[in-house]
Amino acid sequence: MHDMESLEKDIEEIMAAARQYGLDHRDMHFEICPPEVLYSFGAYRMPTRFGHWSFGKAYQRIKTEYDHNLSRMYEMVINTDPCYAFLLQGNTRIQNRLVIAHALAHSDFFKHNAYFARTAPRTVLESMTVAAGRIRNYEQAYGRERVEQFLDAALAVQEHVDYHHSPGTGRRYPAGESASHSKNDVLGFIARFGHGLESWQRDILAVVREESLYFRPQLATKLCNEGWATFWHLKIMHHLELTEEETVDFARMHAQLVQPSRLRVNPYLLGLSIFSDIDRRWGRDTVFEARATCDDPGLLRNYLTEELVRKMDLFVFRRIGYEWRVVEKDWQTVRDTLIQNLFNCGHPYILVETGDFNGRGELYLKHYYEGVELDVHYLEKTLPLVHRLWGRPVHLETVLEEKEMLFSFPGDKVGKRLI
Amino acid sequence: MKQFTVGHEDWSLHRKGLPDQQRHREKVRQAIREHLSDIISEESIIVSEEDRVVKIPVPAIREYRFRFDQGRQKQVGHGGDGLEIGDMVAGGCPPALSGKGAGTEPGSDYYEAEITLDELSELMFEDLHLPNLRDKPRPQLVTESVDFRDVRKRGPAGNLDRRRTIKETFRRNALKGRPGLQKFTPEDLRYRTWNPVRRPESAAVVLAMMDTSGSMGPFEKHVARSFFFWMVRFLKTRYDNVEVVFLAHHTEARETTQDEFFSRGESGGTRCSSVYRLALDIVAERYSPRQYNVYAFHFSDGDNLASDNDLCVALAGQLVGVSNLVGYGEIEGPYYYTSTLRSAFKKIADPRFVTVVLRDKSEVYSALRTFFRAGPADEVGPDA
């Protein structure tokens, strides 16, 4: 256990080191939480948010992983101003020092990365709390089940927002139909033009949309942000004076964090490698520039080199029959595959074609196909949820086996046909 | 200036996520309920000890959205030990690298849920009951429930009766001449309290009759045992005093203990009439239909000695006459017989005689539901 007094001293020391290196974090609030509380923040991604069973599911997963010792959450940092960092109660002193250094770098990233420019970190906690209260009231007024079913549907399309439009403008749309409306803001389009939505339902859609916009930059910069924080906790920890035992403990923790996996790219490892490489080749100024201007695809496009791909032994694999096999090792293919998988935060691009298909107010969505097909089972389960929001028949155009297909849900069952 | 603060709140009252965890658990329970027939005949459950926690496969509660077909998506991994093109990365399905970070999407659609046998029984038996149960002079069967019908000044906070408490506040204020809802005082508080209610029910005996002859293979035995395992559990969970008598038979029938019944296998030919005769004798000696509701369930593969069938039908008919319900479960194994016993039993046309056929172990649950659901429409008891 780490006592309060030495914790405060450590924070001061680490902050001084961070400043010396040129990190510019927001004012910090560190809060020490027991595991259950930290995990619930992890599940909701924020300390206060509306309720939904999917967060309970996420909590269950985090807790199980902890119980089975699969992974352990030591901290959580959120994009607020002042920046909140939640430390796991029971962390050792060395664990805390590592996560404090890590948290300061996240805070610096939130403050300086361009993609976070419009995330309203000063007011987000309050607006989420207020929204959660409103949704609770809707549960009272319209019934828990109705609200839950509506949220199920709203969350099914939460990724399809246009994050080039800043949050806060969410509730105002131009008066005309789609002409001036952003095509990839599916959620906003439904909120604005959906048939028969009651005002509480429109409000829920607006809440989901704004929160999605708030989280979007974090999803778009996971590799950058974790790489950045890992790069700096390594520098800062080397700067501190550690006993031999502490050095060993620190090395073990760090090694766990950057452990490579054959089945997925470890963002801590890949991000750290890229930032270290930039530092070595172009110097510290370029490192800071990359953290200010890049999202994940940008970082990979600009800074993932042939040498790095070879050094980390990255490869492309896919399923062949019932096995997963290596299919490519060419560095440019590796890079392009990584970028493609992170494109649009890993979600398919879905655009609104029209809200008046067939001249009957039907919603026509189009999947912008880039070579990877949609999961048809999920698609057939999601369309009825979109219908629940839109209130009239819904359609989705996509490509299956190189043929253009139209999936439709008129209200009873999903049909599909060639176009 | 200090650029930070440190907080160490008392988080013990922070229970924010509980309703959502609860709701998720409810959904999981619902999924379990929908898959009960697959779950309950798992060997691991049948052999488990009384109050053990069992692990059962539960379909994950999915959050549907538009997503890529992960089987077709190319992915990137770290090698480290020089994998070459064509080398195998893994046999299973790796979780996709999604923008939401590692592990957000479940890697597989099933996960193991832990549940106690009691909880599982509760889900299974919610709407089951002994059919045709009638009043008998010897009240032995007792079900217990609780009834909230008293109000007290002290009690656990969860049982606070808000309406009565508010009434008390109004009354006290009105007596003081300042009517209205202000200033709750401790003496206003009212709590609901409960009394256990014991409802005496009629006595009942259940005869569990199982074919243990040589033709009962491992599959048939497993199905029969699964049925009786859950039947005994159901009776114990629901009824305080129901008696269960275990009868095993091949060419001869004998009464066994519960442990023997579940553990031993025998061999030899099959003469089903033996077990029906033994059942009739036991009812006549120990469980007069005047005093007992009698139930009998017989499980067999139906491979009976042909010459025994007529006698068997006659005795089974007599047993129906003294019983509230007789159930016959025939397990159709991998070797299909043109069944003898089941077709012979077609001669018994009494609503109190119910037959089921089980072809798969998942049908154990439907057999339970057939036998322990509402019985035949006309609520006839045995001729007593």
Domain locations along chain B: 144-198, 203-372
- Across the interface, whether the CB atoms of B88 and A325 are under 8 A apart is answered yes
Name the residue with tokens 């253009």. A404
Lowest mean pLDDT segment, chosen from A80-84, A407-411, B16-20, B358-362? B16-20
Backbone angles phi, psi at B349, to 5 degrees: -110, 75
With beta carbons less than 8 A apart as the criterion, state whether B231 and B297 touch.
yes
- Across the interface, whether the CB atoms of B61 and A326 are under 8 A apart is answered no
- Across the interface, whether the CB atoms of B68 and A156 are under 8 A apart is answered no
With beta carbons less than 8 A apart as the criterion, state whether A356 and A195 touch.
no
pLDDT interval class at B109 (50, 70, 90): low
Backbone angles phi, psi at A399, to 5 degrees: -120, 125
Evaluate whether residue A227 is within a structural domain: no
Write the DSSP symbol of residue B68.
B
Shortest Cα–Cα distance, A334 to chain B (Å): 7
pLDDT of residue A261: 86
For A150, the domain range is 123-166+182-215
Q: Which two tokens stand for residue B55?
A: 């692990």
With beta carbons less than 8 A apart as the criterion, state whether A37 and B14 touch.
yes
- pTM equals 0.74
Specify the DSSP element, H or E, that contains B45. Answer: helix B43-46
Mean pLDDT over A331-354 rounds to 94
Q: Which two tokens stand for residue A417?
A: 């046909």
pLDDT interval class at B208 (50, 70, 90): very high
Q: Which two tokens stand for residue B246?
A: 């275990």
Shortest Cα–Cα distance, A263 to chain B (Å): 5
Evaluate whether residue A360 is within a structural domain: yes
Burial class (CB in 10 A: 0-12, 13-18, 19+), A334: buried
Evaluate whether residue A254 is within a structural domain: no
**A358 Cβ neighbours under 8 A, 6+ residues apart:** A393
ipTM for the assembly: 0.91
- Across the interface, whether the CB atoms of A337 and B75 are under 8 A apart is answered yes
CA A135 vs CA A389, A391, B206, B383: distances in Å? 17, 21, 53, 62
Shortest Cα–Cα distance, A177 to chain B (Å): 24
**Euclidean distance between the first and final Cα of chain A, in Å?**
65
- Across the interface, whether the CB atoms of B73 and A372 are under 8 A apart is answered yes
Name the residue with tokens 């209200």. A411
Checking if the pLDDT of A176 tops 70, the result is no
With beta carbons less than 8 A apart as the criterion, state whether A187 and A129 touch.
no
Evaluate whether residue A414 is within a structural domain: yes
pLDDT of residue A154: 98
With beta carbons less than 8 A apart as the criterion, state whether B95 and A264 touch.
yes
pLDDT of residue B258: 87
pLDDT of residue B261: 87
Distance CA A385, CA A178 (A): 21
**B336 Cβ neighbours under 8 A, 6+ residues apart:** none
CA gyration radius, chain B: 29
Chain B residue nearest residue A263, CA to CA? B77
pLDDT of residue B162: 85
pLDDT digits (tens, 9 = 90+) for A249-267: 999 999 999 998 888 899 9
Taking contacts as CB-CB distances below 8 angstroms, the residues of chain B near A345 are: 99-100
Chain A residue nearest residue B80, CA to CA? A313
Alpha helices in B218-362 (DSSP H): 218-238, 258-263, 273-286, 309-322, 341-345
Mean pLDDT over B347-365 rounds to 88
**B165 Cβ neighbours under 8 A, 6+ residues apart:** B184, B188, B189, B190
The tally of domains found in chain A comes to 2
pLDDT of residue B139: 54
Alpha helices in A157-283 (DSSP H): 186-193, 199-220, 222-239, 244-257, 267-282
Distance CA A323, CA A235 (A): 40
pLDDT digits (tens, 9 = 90+) for A41-82: 999 999 989 999 999 989 988 887 777 665 677 889 999 999
Among residues 80-119 of chain B, which lie with CB inside 8 Å of chain A?
Answer: 80-103, 106
Evaluate whether residue A115 is within a structural domain: no
Among residues 152-211 of chain B, which lie with CB inside 8 Å of chain A?
Answer: none
pLDDT digits (tens, 9 = 90+) for A133-155: 999 999 999 999 999 999 999 99
User: Of B261, B246, B201, B236, which is closest to residue B121 (Cα–Cα)?
Assistant: B236
Checking if the pLDDT of A174 tops 50, the result is no
Mean pLDDT over A1-15 rounds to 88
Checking if the pLDDT of A165 tops 80, the result is no
Q: Which of A32, A54, A266 sits opposite B78 (nearest CB)?
A: A266
Q: Which of B8, B20, B102 sits opposite A55 (nearest CB)?
A: B20
Checking if the pLDDT of B379 tops 60, the result is no
Evaluate whether residue A305 is within a structural domain: no
Lowest mean pLDDT segment, chosen from A149-153, A212-216, B62-66, B91-95? B91-95
pLDDT interval class at A166 (50, 70, 90): very low
DSSP for B274-296 reads HHHHHHHHHHHHH--TTTEEEEE
pLDDT interval class at A198 (50, 70, 90): very high
Evaluate whether residue A87 is within a structural domain: no
CA B151 vs CA A344, B158, B169, B196, B197: distances in Å? 60, 13, 16, 15, 16
Higher pLDDT, B216 or A190: A190
Evaluate whether residue A272 is within a structural domain: no
Q: What is the mean pLDDT of chain A?
A: 91
Residue A400, chain B, CB below 8 Å: the answer is no
pLDDT digits (tens, 9 = 90+) for A235-247: 999 999 999 999 9
pLDDT interval class at A86 (50, 70, 90): very high
Beta bridge partners of residue B114, listed in sequence order: B55
**A396 Cβ neighbours under 8 A, 6+ residues apart:** A350, A365, A366, A367, A379, A383, A406, A407, A408, B66
Q: Report which residue type is found at A405.
A: M
**B105 Cβ neighbours under 8 A, 6+ residues apart:** B67, B70, B95, B96, B98
**B104 Cβ neighbours under 8 A, 6+ residues apart:** B98
With beta carbons less than 8 A apart as the criterion, state whether B368 and B297 touch.
no
User: Which site among B75, B93, B109 would you substitute to test the A interface, given the most A Cβ atoms closer than 10 Å to its Cβ?
Assistant: B75
pLDDT of residue B380: 47
Cβ neighbours, 10 Å, residue B134:
15
Distance CA B270, CA B276 (A): 13
Residue B348, chain A, CB below 8 Å: the answer is no
Report the percentage of chain A scoring pLDDT > 90: 81
State which CATH number among 2.60.40.10, 3.40.50.410, 3.40.50.1580, 3.40.50.10860 fits the domain covering B203-372: 3.40.50.410
Q: Which of B20, B75, B76 sits opposite A56 (nearest CB)?
A: B20
pLDDT of residue B91: 57
- Across the interface, whether the CB atoms of B3 and A15 are under 8 A apart is answered yes
Cβ neighbours, 10 Å, residue B146:
10
Q: Which of A313, A374, A396 sits opposite B67 (nearest CB)?
A: A374
Shortest Cα–Cα distance, A176 to chain B (Å): 28
Name the residue with tokens 């106690």. B116
